[in-house]
Structures are given as structure tokens and as C-alpha cells.
Structure 1
Amino acid sequence: MNDRTTPTLAQRIRYICGGTLPPRMSAWVIDDLTGPGAARRYLLRILVPILALLCLFLLIPGPLWMRLAMMALLYLPLIYFTAALMYVYRRARLTSHGLDPALADSGQRQRVAAEREAYERRHGRG
């Protein structure tokens, strides 16, 4: 029986494309979606591969500035919507792995708790 807790290369590729991992890798999934660098990984996984597809616009005849403008007209809104939907994506990925979607809020809850503790220490309530 395979008891790996981190995905193989094939499993990672499937995971990046939207697949799920076995339940024994739940800790890895939680760390990937909510741990340090989660936002950077999410943005890179979506925004970098699209660049290869957008480079097809460079094959269209015409001035370079026009081809780059066509690419920008698609890429800039993609950046905006990718960032805007990050929270929804995290919750959906956690749910698809059978995990509690509230885990997506864990970082925010920790920050609020730390701020509250610092406030109470400053003002003599803790």
C-alpha cells in the first residue's frame, strides 16, 4: 500500500488541472490552498500557462503593437478576475477534496485573533 503524503508529478499535474488527490494527502492540499505562498501558487498556475496560448496572437500579421494590445485586452481582465475569484476557488477546491471550506478563512481568523490579542495587551485587558 502506498502511504505517500505528497503527490507524485503525475498527481500534481492532475491536481493543477482540477483533479482531486487521495484523502491521505489532505494535509498537503490544505497547505497548498491555505499555507504560505498559496496566493502566489494560485496566480502562477493560472496566469503563466495562458501566456503560451496568448503568444499565438504574435502569429497574426500586422504591427507588433497591435498584436500585443490584443494580448493585453485578454490578459489584463484575466489577472483581475483570477485575483478576485481566489477565495471562491480555494473554497471550491477544499470542498472537492472533502475538506471543510471554512479552512479557506483560517489565515484571516488567525490575523484577527493576533490583532485582538495585541489590542488587549496594549490596553491592559489581557
Structure 2
Amino acid sequence: MARRRPNPIQWLWYAAGGRLPSEFRQWVLHDVSSRWYLWRHAGRSTVLVGPLTVVWLLLPGPLWLRLLLCLMAALVGYFYSFAYADEACEHRVVKHGFPHGTARATRQAARAEAEADVRARYVARYRAGTE
């Protein structure tokens, strides 16, 4: 079954915490378990942090103060977003009908395949005569 991608409006809804229709279940699982899931998480976080920093940039006051306020808000927002990235990904997967732990298990399975390949190349190169 091919993964369907949401359109930009649906993706904005999804990034803001909304639930996508059921035909996007596989795409959601891929979104939170792919190799680049933290970069994708950063994009989703920007949907929430970005408008807030723009509003603070428009407040009255010296420009340097507003820029520092925006920088601090973005740093704190992204810090907490990444501190709970795995939990947020699991919540998205559960919201779309998968059991809790599916995203983490999918990421670990993909990582295990890559690590097994690296280990096999290491053994073939450096431990060929010792094992």
C-alpha cells in the first residue's frame, strides 16, 4: 500500500496537533519513525513556535530587546519540543490508531538493520583472522 502525503493545509493541521484522515496512517508512521524524524519534528515545532515569535517581534520597544525576546522564546520552545520529541511522536502514532511504542519500535528495527551491516563490515575487515 502506497503512502499518501497530506496536502499543505492538512499538514498544517497535523503539525498543529490535529488528526489526519485514516488514509494517511502509514504516512504518519513514516513521519515519526523515519531516519529524519527529528528534522520533521523541528518542522512541526516551527508551526507552533514561529507565529509566536513573530507576534513578539511586533511588540513595541527597542528592536534589540524584541529580537532577544524572540530568540529566547524560540530557544525555550525548541528545547522543550526536543526534550519531549519521542513522547510527542508516540502520541501522534497513537492518535492515528497504532499501539503505543510503534514509532520507537520501528525506529529501533531500522537502526538494528543498519548497525548489523556496520558490524558485519567491521568484523570482515578487522576481525577476519581472530574469530
Report the alpha carbon displacement of residue 69 of structure 1 after superposing the two structures with TM.
1.6
SS where residue 71 of structure 2 aligns?
helix
Assess, with a 3 A threshold, how the Cα gap between structure 1 residues 117 and 55 changes in structure 2: closer, same or farther: closer
Which consecutive unaligned segments of at least 5 residues does structure 1 have?
Answer: none
What's the TM-score, normalizing by structure 2?
A: 0.72
How many angstroms apart in 2 are the aligned matches of 1:118 and 1:53? 43
Matched, 1:50 2:49: yes
How many angstroms apart in 2 are the aligned matches of 1:17 and 1:52? 12
How many angstroms apart in 1 are the aligned matches of 2:96 and 2:47? 24
SS where residue 60 of structure 2 aligns?
coil
Give the aligned residue type for 1:97. Answer: H
Maintained 8 Å contact 2:93/2:99: yes
Maintained 8 Å contact 2:12/2:47: no
Assess, with a 3 A threshold, how the Cα gap between structure 1 residues 69 and 30 changes in structure 2: closer, same or farther: same
Where do 1:89-104 residues align within 5 Å? 89-104=88-103
Matched, 1:112 2:117: no
Maintained 8 Å contact 2:32/2:103: yes
Identical positions, percent:
29
SS where residue 21 of structure 1 aligns?
coil
SS where residue 28 of structure 1 aligns?
helix
Which consecutive unaligned segments of at least 5 residues does structure 2 have?
Answer: none
**Which 4+ residue blocks in structure 1 deviate beyond 4 angstroms?**
none
- List per-residue Cα deviations over 1:49-92 (Å, max 9, x = no partner): 53333223333333221111222222211111111111001100
Partner of 1:35: 34
- List per-residue Cα deviations over 1:6-62 (Å, max 9, x = no partner): 434443333222222233322111112212432212211222553333223333333
RMSD (Å) for aligned C-alpha atoms: 2.8
What's the TM-score, normalizing by structure 1?
A: 0.74
Partner of 1:22: 21
Give the aligned residue type for 1:84. Answer: A
